[in-house]
């Protein structure tokens, strides 16, 4: 038995033993039905090829203009980094930094690190810095938002067709292709690369402490980053135990998970009020000067004959943050009370919150694109307003709240069936 053959379920902690699968099969947790791993072992050459392709499209998307606006003989055009720079120049420094991180920096880290590690492993050696880079890939993927940006750009463009002529540029097509490539890239689990590194040479057999812990049902602990399951050395507190593979600090559950989730939730709930009351965007045009809040933006789309866009923005900006606050409060409250109530449904709820969290950034991306392109001095000018900062903060805080919550707390109070071991 190799050390990567032990798998602890990310959502409920049940310990499983890896078995070979057919290429299209999924292994699911016996208790909470989460997907543990998919298909056959990864083909490092294929991973490197996909990632290299994605990286090239990423560069084209970032460096070429997305769209050109024409208005009475004046022209305006921008790349994504250009749009971020304009937001920065308008005093929206925090918002522009968030946009840059979520759409430029994190996708770049994800693609660059996966390519570097896959090429190194393919050449038969562990590339230097591999553990740090794969940990960065996990974090970068939690925060990368290429697909949300793509929809944000499209909505921004539809909005602008009402005031000027819109000419599509290569950058927009590249972003479309990049969105598809990033979806393929997301199917490459960094843990596969850690396992591939383990397989180099003679493979890494299960170490004596882990064999002992398995046999005698002693406590075990799973690494948050690379997924390796180790014998619990019982050193929590002063001297932390570190993962034998990636060097990450180990803990049985995320420390102070419920308390921290509450803290971020309360901060997000407070900021949710100014985020909806303060204007997020100012439009100065020949028709006058007006401030828009999120909700008046929705009304604008509804009135101008684009009800489907009004619904998309309403759901992403108003409904999703509210549902997220409610769902995470429910999860934190039931975990705190060690409730036995519907653990399966609560796990599904958590997975949904994790999945939809990033979509609330949609309106921020629409604002970024609008501000960068609608710059026709006397005729039409759009500038961001303070509401955008509050709104961006709500999205980031609820995402952190979801990440701080440890879904295994849902299952901890539930009595195990015979023979099921958890970590």
Q: Which residues bind Zn ion (CB under 5 A)?
A: 9, 11-12, 14, 29, 31-32, 34, 223, 225-226, 228, 243, 245-246, 248
Please, what is the minimum distance in Å from the beta carbon of residue 10 to Zn ion? 7
Please, what is the minimum distance in Å from the beta carbon of residue 211 to Zn ion? 18
Please, what is the minimum distance in Å from the beta carbon of residue 68 to Zn ion? 48
Q: What is the largest CA-CA distance in the chain?
A: 79
Residue (of 421, 9, 365) closest to 216 by Cα position: 421
Question: 192 or 225, CB closer to Zn ion?
Answer: 225
Question: 303 or 416, CB closer to Zn ion?
Answer: 416
Report strand pairing: 288-292 vs 281-285: antiparallel
Q: How many CB atoms lie within 10 A of CB 409?
A: 23
Please, what is the minimum distance in Å from the beta carbon of residue 51 to Zn ion? 22
- Number of H helices and number of E strands within the chain? 17, 13
Please, what is the minimum distance in Å from the beta carbon of residue 15 to Zn ion? 10
With H, G, I as helix, E, B as strand and everything else as coil, classify residue 281: strand
DSSP states along 114-172? HHHHHHHHHTTS--TTHHHHHHHHHHHHHH--HHHHHHHHHHHHHHHTTTSEEEE-HHH
Residue (of 201, 264, 178, 190) closest to 223 by Cα position: 190
Encoding tokens for residue 206? Answer: 């299960």
Question: 3 or 31, CB closer to Zn ion?
Answer: 31
Q: How many CB atoms lie within 10 A of CB 73?
A: 5
Question: 32 or 356, CB closer to Zn ion?
Answer: 32
Question: 141 or 245, CB closer to Zn ion?
Answer: 245
How far is Cα of residue 17 from the mean position of the Cα atoms in its chain?
A: 28
Question: 322 or 348, CB closer to Zn ion?
Answer: 348
Please, what is the minimum distance in Å from the beta carbon of residue 202 to Zn ion? 20
With H, G, I as helix, E, B as strand and everything else as coil, classify residue 129: coil
């Amino acid at each position: 038995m190799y050390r990567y053959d032990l798998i602890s379920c990310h959502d409920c902690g049940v310990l499983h033993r890896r078995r070979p699968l057919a290429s299209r099969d999924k292994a699911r947790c016996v208790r909470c039905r989460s997907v543990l791993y998919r298909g056959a072992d990864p083909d490092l050459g294929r991973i490197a090829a996909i990632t290299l392709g994605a990286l090239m499209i990423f560069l084209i998307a970032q460096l070429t203009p997305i769209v050109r606006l024409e208005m009475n003989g004046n022209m305006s055009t921008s790349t994504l980094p250009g749009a971020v720079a304009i937001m920065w120049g308008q005093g929206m420094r925090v918002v522009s930094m968030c946009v840059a991180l979520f759409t430029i920096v994190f996708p770049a880290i994800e693609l660059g690190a996966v390519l570097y590690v896959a090429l190194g492993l393919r050449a038969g050696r562990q590339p230097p810095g591999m553990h740090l880079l794969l940990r960065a890939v996990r974090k970068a993927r939690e925060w990368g938002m290429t697909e949300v940006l793509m929809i944000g750009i499209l909505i921004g463009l539809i909005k602008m067709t009402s005031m000027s002529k819109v000419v599509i540029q290569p950058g927009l097509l590249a972003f479309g292709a990049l969105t598809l490539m990033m979806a393929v890239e997301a199917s490459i689990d960094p843990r596969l690369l850690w396992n591939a590194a383990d397989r180099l040479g003679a493979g890494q057999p299960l170490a004596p402490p882990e064999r002992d812990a398995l046999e005698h049902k002693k406590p075990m602990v799973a690494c948050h980053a690379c997924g390796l399951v180790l014998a619990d050395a019982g050193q929590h507190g002063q001297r932390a135990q570190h993962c034998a593979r990636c060097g990450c600090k180990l803990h049985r559950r995320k420390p102070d998970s419920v308390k921290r989730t509450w803290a971020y939730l309360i901060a997000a709930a407070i900021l949710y009020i100014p985020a909806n009351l303060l204007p997020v965007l100012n439009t100065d045009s020949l028709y006058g000067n007006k401030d828009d809040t999120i909700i008046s933006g929705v009304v604008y789309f509804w009135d101008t004959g684009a009800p489907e866009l009004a619904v998309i923005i309403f759901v992403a900006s108003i409904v999703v943050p509210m549902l997220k606050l409610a769902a995470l409060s429910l999860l934190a409250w039931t975990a705190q009370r060690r409730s036995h109530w519907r653990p399966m449904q609560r796990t599904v709820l958590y997975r949904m919150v994790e999945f939809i969290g990033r979509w609330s950034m949609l309106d921020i991306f629409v604002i970024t694109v609008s501000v960068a392109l609608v710059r026709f001095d006397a005729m039409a000018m759009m500038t961001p307003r303070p509401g955008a900062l509050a709104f961006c903060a709500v999205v980031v805080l609820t995402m952190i709240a979801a990440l701080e919550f440890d879904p295994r707390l849902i299952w901890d109070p539930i009595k195990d069936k015979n023979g099921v071991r958890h970590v």
